[in-house]
Amino acid sequence: MPMADKAATITDVAARAGVSISTVSAALNGRAGVSEGTRERIKGIAADLGFVPSLRGRSLSAKRSFNVGLIIQRGADVIESDPFFASFIGGAESVLSERGYGLVLQMADTSEKALAHYRQMAAAKRVDGVFLNELEVDDPRVAAVHRLRLPAVAINADPGRFPVPAVRQGFQPGISALLSYLVGMGHRHIAHLAGPTRFLHSCQREQAWRSALAELGLEPGPVVTGDFTFDGGAGAAEAIVAQAVRPTAVVCANDLMAAGFLTRAQDLGLRIPGDISVAGYDGVPLGEYIRPRLTTLKTAPHELAAQASRMLLAVVDGETVTDVEIPPASLVLRESTGRAPTAVR
């Protein structure tokens, strides 16, 4: 008979089974020291009663909240057009829920507010650990979680840079492949539309673009700094189009800026890729919605998050973990890149 009026507690199960609550606890949690007979009997009764251990009792005695925190540090404008977090949350949630963990989410539009949220979450013991995403250069959160002794896993942090384990997805192979392809198509003057310099991944991508060009024996083209938004990309298009010697290709630090660049460039009368090739980074659905479809480097936020979650739970369990690298972002050639214009004026 399921459907008790009040939710059953461990005491109810113990009473019904005629054993102590410690036996029920041991039986249900797979701890040793319970005969198989009583274990099975207790399990049956627990199922009958629809007993699910209350997180309240569990977390107080186990000194765990069974929750893990993610703080999204982005303005509302970016978050709405960037599917990164949707995928990330999906990947995290898939491994967390399997392990009985919940994901608690907070938003912050400034880095200070985000930091305050981390502190608050840790102080109130709302979570057992946190993800450190969108890392900035000299990110204060790293020192903070360290001082708070808050288990944490960093996303896409450079190896050896922070005293926090990290999971990362390589960017160099994909960017090198992209630039080899562009150079193979005759491009010699290749610009970079970078993200804000305070972000680690902005620097990583620009650096990768630079070394790939060096590898190919080319000088870096102009660098324009955007803000990861569509409008930022559009603005960059105007800037680059106005330049005396216009680059024949632009490698953008994310798809959203690439889409803005490509769209505005076309509004200004340029043909893509006839006059200028454009490539993005991320592999978001938007890249297939626009015309021409966007060449990009496809990342895997879902897998990144799944790995990060496994690591974070390990850290929470007190295990020592080592950095994990998932397969690098891969080149997806679509229609926005092509042969360099023959007559560069």
Partner DNA sequence: CTGAAAGCGCTTACAG
58: left (phi over 0), alpha (psi -120 to 50) or beta: alpha
Rounded Cα distance, 20 and 22, in Å: 5
Q: Are strands 330-332 and 296-298 parallel, antiparallel or unpaired?
A: antiparallel
Contact call for residue 114 and DNA (CB under 7 A) = no
The nearer residue to a second copy, 22 or 120, going by C-beta atoms, is 120
Count the helix, strand and coil residues of the chain and give each as a percent rounded to the nearest 5: 45, 15, 40
Secondary structure class of 108 (helix, strand, coil): strand
Contacting residue, 33, 159, 285, 318, with DNA by CB under 7 A: 33
Site track 207-236 with a second copy (rule: CB under 8 A), x = hit: -----------------------x------
- Residue 94 binding target from a second copy, DNA, none, CB below 5 to 8 Å by type: a second copy
Phi and psi torsions of 89, nearest 5°: -60, -40
Rounded Cα distance, 107 and 292, in Å: 34
Site track 62-101 with DNA (rule: CB under 7 A), x = hit: xx--------------------------------------
Buried b (16+ CB within 10 A) or exposed e, 10-45: bebbbebbebeeebbbbbbeeeeebeeebbebbbeb
The nearer residue to DNA, 25 or 266, going by C-beta atoms, is 25
The nearer residue to a second copy, 31 or 147, going by C-beta atoms, is 147
Helices (H) and strands (E) in the chain, counts: 14, 12
Contact call for residue 47 and DNA (CB under 7 A) = no
- Residue 29 binding target from DNA, a second copy, none, CB below 5 to 8 Å by type: DNA
CA distances, 149 to each of 8, 259, 272 (Å): 36, 41, 51
Chain residues in the site for DNA (CB under 7 A): 9-11, 18-23, 25-26, 28-29, 31-38, 51, 53-54, 56-58, 60-63
Chain residues in the site for a second copy (CB under 8 A): 7, 50, 52-57, 59-60, 63, 65-67, 76-77, 79-81, 83, 85-87, 89-90, 93-94, 97, 102-107, 117, 120, 123-126, 230, 259-260, 263, 266-267, 284-286, 288-291, 302
